[in-house]
Structure 1
């Protein structure tokens, strides 16, 4: 290995540069060195696939051309994830889809027990339970697979060009399993993503172009799929937004493909989430240690305010069979759920030491810092925003953070 490359791999995290591009250049090779080295020893390869389910109420037939449309949509999302991972330095890593012999995706069709009027947005668990027997017959245990569950719960009037939906639309998951509930409609079509005309009147988003409709709902699939992979919401930092566009797990579900219409930069996958995906079985092709428990042990954590930033340092160690390869931090201001949480990340050095810096703090608000320790086996200290490492902070009106709340709780997880 050339000396320059070796030095980059061994750079301690506190030397990571400020720009997004320099963060990527410093952190990704270091993370890959840990991940690739661990995977190379006694690998456990597995042919994991993302499975697609189409559920329709008892009184409805599937929407026209659902297989053709959803095959194109899911392949585009697969390409998006792969291209983003490649941009970030991980190579073209993405999930595998279950392909049928006719050139389209294999989609498991399930007819609900009740008519349309019985179901509503909170019906996700009921709908998922109705799908389990069908999946079981195909040899699939939904508690050990990642699935996208399209619900035929939209209402399209082709004459009035109005559309509304009353569907479950959320997701949750870990490194072992996940479910993303989505809505299908005849208007969900990749070919329309680049079009500024015609218009549709959506019950939630108003008078929008058919391209904008597909940005929202194809982007929504990509966004909820992220939750099914196990990561939370976040918003792009100012420097990330200037460089790349809108974070997929923030408002990026509404900007997906907008660049095709010349309406913006589109959506991107940020570094913290890409680091997590790098060890997900669907992206790394390995189930080595995937049923391990979280074993990361942080120590010597300290925090300080530097200007208008929060700097956190410490060490983290893991078991030999599950080294910690990255640390994620989310700085979440009060209000806005967690959609407005900015992220930072670091890769531990050989001694486990790391330093990360939280920027773009919201002046005049309190907030919560959430830490996640990522293990090479795909296990993390938490998924989709849930972690025992949670610390309160406040930010003065002039943007200066007060970190006393963090300092008092450090090394004392809930």
Structure 2
């Protein structure tokens, strides 16, 4: 809610309910175009002689005994067959995704054992959900609508396994098609949303489970990451070059899972360091994290990491008894001048237990503008947000505040640049 106050200021007050959800589409959200139909790929079982050496191996998934576990789901429509060895491939993929989070957070000094997963008979559990309809009913073929897939698949997953507000699902959907595409495969999608401190969803096209991209062991996956064999007739989204090398598809697919999981944890995009930040396009360089290949490594910037630090799905010291999000009354200018590079924010932030961190995001720029750690039950805010020179028109800042129970409150500060 926004209302005018004294001295040309506006105030925003928010209490974000547990059922609120923001659907965020990542960069790999669809596939269309005129590429020729590919021939079946011959999958290498080892890297070329003299290829890049392995510099890091991801840690295996573990059952950490937490209440909040990541639940893996494979969704197969009634007219599709499951991919070969899907129950082994999906945990391998998630081993790399989990390692990206845990390794980066530990490097920043946070206690991070990684995500917790369901196990059965000593192995990571993947739930097979059989779709009620044919694949085209979910994908909208021939139009291939990512949002349609979300709207139709998620209710069936919830009916089978429980509400998304109470579970964090990573869903791989066997809904893509084999025809020509501008990039990747028709019907490809990657979407993510947070529903509450205890739930969210990342949903992905299952083309990444194809044999040419996803192995059944970590060692096999490292060999595929080292492989630059062109995939005939297919284009990876990273550089959009036809016949893209194998490893680029893997970076796009595995990386998109890491990116959209960030949205499921409540993170926005951050394009400031686009070739590094996982919430930008840094995930498209993830093989550099594991192989001796030149270039940037995927990770999180400090303003993103401090929000992840208090996630119920990543931290062991979160206060699970805290069920209420922070409340904030933020003051800000009602109007700004064209060319301005700073915005002064004030106000009060309170929590019933303990505050964790704050983050400032500009939807107009699609990046984070800063943030800081918070502590205690009450903070008086006086902070200058640095922005690129502002252009005329409406401006909104999305201010996210997380407490030490993993609850997030959101303030939307709306201003006019004139």
The normalised TM-score by structure 2 is 0.68
* Residue 18 of structure 1: aligned partner: none
- CA apart distance, 1:354: 4.3
Gaps of 5+ in 1: 1-44, 383-387, 395-401, 403-414
Structure having the larger proportion of residues in helix:
1
Q: Which residue of the other structure, out of 309, 325, 336, is the alignment partner of 1:278?
A: 309
**1:142-169: CA deviations, max 9, x gaps?**
4301000110123459xxxx95141442
Q: Is the 8 A contact 2:236 2:244 kept in 1?
A: no
How many residues align? The count is 324
Q: Which residue of the other structure, out of 226, 233, 239, is the alignment partner of 1:201?
A: 233
Q: Which residue of the other structure, out of 250, 253, 263, is the alignment partner of 1:217?
A: 253
- Once residues 114 and 225 of structure 2 are traced to their aligned partners in structure 1, the CA distance between those partners, rounded to angstroms, is 22
Q: Is the 8 A contact 2:71 2:170 kept in 1?
A: yes
Q: Which residue of the other structure, out of 329, 341, 350, is the alignment partner of 1:298?
A: 329
* Residue 112 of structure 2: aligned partner: 92
Distance 1:314 1:349, change over 3 A: farther
Q: Which has the higher contact order (CA 8 A, sep 6+)?
A: 2
Distance 1:291 1:165, change over 3 A: farther
Q: Is the 8 A contact 1:124 1:168 kept in 2?
A: no
- CA apart distance, 1:360: 5.8
* Residue 33 of structure 1: aligned partner: none
Q: Is the 8 A contact 1:57 1:114 kept in 2?
A: yes
* Residue 113 of structure 1: aligned partner: 132
Distance 1:315 1:349, change over 3 A: farther
Q: Does 1:180 align with 2:202?
A: yes
- Once residues 368 and 142 of structure 1 are traced to their aligned partners in structure 2, the CA distance between those partners, rounded to angstroms, is 28
Alignment map for 1:122-201 (pairs within 5 Å): 122-135=148-161, 140-155=162-177, 164-173=185-194, 174-185=196-207, 186=210, 187-189=212-214, 190-191=221-222, 192-201=224-233
**1:173-229: CA deviations, max 9, x gaps?**
131210111111214423422322243433673431110001111100001111111
* Residue 317 of structure 1: aligned partner: 349
Distance 1:118 1:360, change over 3 A: same
- CA apart distance, 1:248: 1.0
Q: Is the 8 A contact 1:296 1:375 kept in 2?
A: no
- CA apart distance, 1:299: 5.6
- Once residues 386 and 295 of structure 2 are traced to their aligned partners in structure 1, the CA distance between those partners, rounded to angstroms, is 24
Q: CA RMSD in A?
A: 3.1
**1:282-314: CA deviations, max 9, x gaps?**
12234524432x342336667999x97415343
Distance 1:302 1:325, change over 3 A: farther
Gaps of 5+ in 2: 1-64, 140-145, 215-220
* Residue 390 of structure 1: aligned partner: 413
Distance 1:392 1:267, change over 3 A: farther
* Residue 376 of structure 1: aligned partner: 404
